[in-house]
Amino acid sequence: MKTRLLMAVAVSLLGLHLLLGSRLYGSGEPAASGEDNGYDNIAVLTRAMQLIRQDYVDDKKTSYRALTYAALKGMFNALDPHSRFMEPRELKEMEDDTKSEFGGLGVTVTTKDGFLTIVSPMEDTPGFRAGLMPGDQIVKINGEATDQMELPKSIERLRGKVGEKVTLTILRPSNRQIKDYVIERAIIKVASVKGARFLEPKLAGEAQIGYVRITQFNEPTAGELSAKLDALEVKGMQGLILDLRDNPGGLLDSAVDVCGQFVGPNTMVVSTEGRVASARKVYKTSAEAKSRPHYPMAILINGGSASASEIVAGALRDLKRAILVGETSFGKGSVQSVVELQDGSGVRLTTAKYYTPSKQVIHEKGIAPGIRATMTPDQENLLTLQRRDPTDLEEADRKLLAGFRDTQLERAADALKGTILYASAGK
């Protein structure tokens, strides 16, 4: 329906241009101030396009496609940071992103408080290895200031040919330092489920507490997680810590399938509401969701946990399946519907907001933990450093990590130990 509507608008624009022709150029009464009449305003747009086509000094910039694309980009950029018009190449790049393999630096960015901000660098990517941190503000890209740069253009500047280098000027809010990072673009292959293991006795005591970290939600995530859980359960896992810290999100279907690993079939985990009836949806776990033991769970979240990770955390909290430990999440809880247009371009339009099962809104509010455990900026830096390949670390980094304590993980382990001990005493 959305595609037909957009096609109808395009036909209306062309029809007005052909029917009104030069009459628009020479005369025409403007709509009264404050009116929002569709036909009058489309006529204004059509007249402006004709003016450019007829009189603009450089005719190489006045093709119908170039002007139409520019107008559409302006329209979508004026809505919110997450809505955008995508040319055919951009639409394909977005589709490639969801398949866990694409070219770039490996950083997820958004506009926050007027700054181009890194939500989270993806692990084992050039941006992550270079030392970029969640919350870093990208001040310049190859010397070009980003303060007036629209988000789609920023993303385009970050991308490029594999093997090419890009210079990012980074402002780190925690210490107000500005530093240049020269990073080489690469093919990004993202392993979304990492670090599956049992916690060491100094954290877990005598309990068998499993730990799994999800770096983002893409097509293979639920399957990868299921395999890791199977292996831990076979070895006698009594409780689980699911780490969603600095997880920037990903696919909604993947988030729902991950919830399906821990709650029953046909369980509602998230809903959406928007202006139109079609935007109001309820998302449930699969009817074939795998049944697992009901062991205690804790989920780690922080300010870098966004979108799909907030959906999982909010759902499992509301359904009394897990306790949340850490800090309030990012607060990106809006729905973007993607529609491909007839020429291969596409639009991503914010059409609804996500709500947890208890009807709490996620967008711009985030998910609050039940057990608050904060980290200093230095501790957050060390947490990110801990996730890097040890072979990439310098001796000074290794010394810093030797004394590092993941206090959020410790709080989660303590909470589960108490729950497991209580359950064992009742048997």
Domains of the chain: 2-62 (no CATH), 101-189 (2.30.42.10), 193-425 (3.90.226.10)
C-alpha torsion 95→99→101→107, nearest 10: 70
Alpha-carbon gap, residue 152 to 148, rounded angstroms: 12
| Of 171, 175, 174, 190, the residue nearest 105 (C-alpha) | 190
Active-site annotation holds for 307: yes
What are the pLDDT tens digits along the chain (427 aa)? Answer: 434 333 333 433 434 343 333 333 344 454 455 568 888 899 999 999 999 999 999 999 999 999 999 999 999 989 988 899 999 988 887 776 655 555 689 888 888 888 999 987 887 889 988 989 888 999 999 999 998 888 878 888 888 788 899 999 999 988 889 999 999 999 877 779 999 999 999 999 999 999 999 999 988 999 999 999 999 999 999 999 999 999 989 899 999 999 999 999 999 999 999 999 988 999 999 998 888 999 999 999 999 999 999 999 999 999 999 999 999 999 999 988 889 999 999 999 999 999 999 999 999 899 999 999 999 988 988 898 888 777 777 788 888 888 899 999 999 999 999 899 877 766 5
Q: Give the residue among 132, 149, 144, 141 at the shortest CA–CA distance from 168.
A: 141
List, as one string, the DSSP characters of 53-118: HHH-S-GGG--HHHHHHHHHHHHHHTT-TT-EEE-HHHHHHHHHHTTTEEEE--EEEEEETTEEEE
CA distance 261 to 247: 18
User: How many angstroms separate the CA atoms of 373 and 327, rounded?
Assistant: 6
Known catalytic membership, residue 284: no
97, 136, 243, 318: the active-site residue? 318
- The letter for the amino acid at 266 is N
Catalytic residue among 140, 228, 284, 332: 332
In the set 192, 254, 305, 307, the catalytic residue is 307
Residue found by looking up tokens 């630096």 in the block = 105
Contact 111, 151 (CB under 8 A): yes
365 is catalytic: no
- The enclosing H or E element of 300 equals strand 297-301
R_g over Cα of the chain: 25
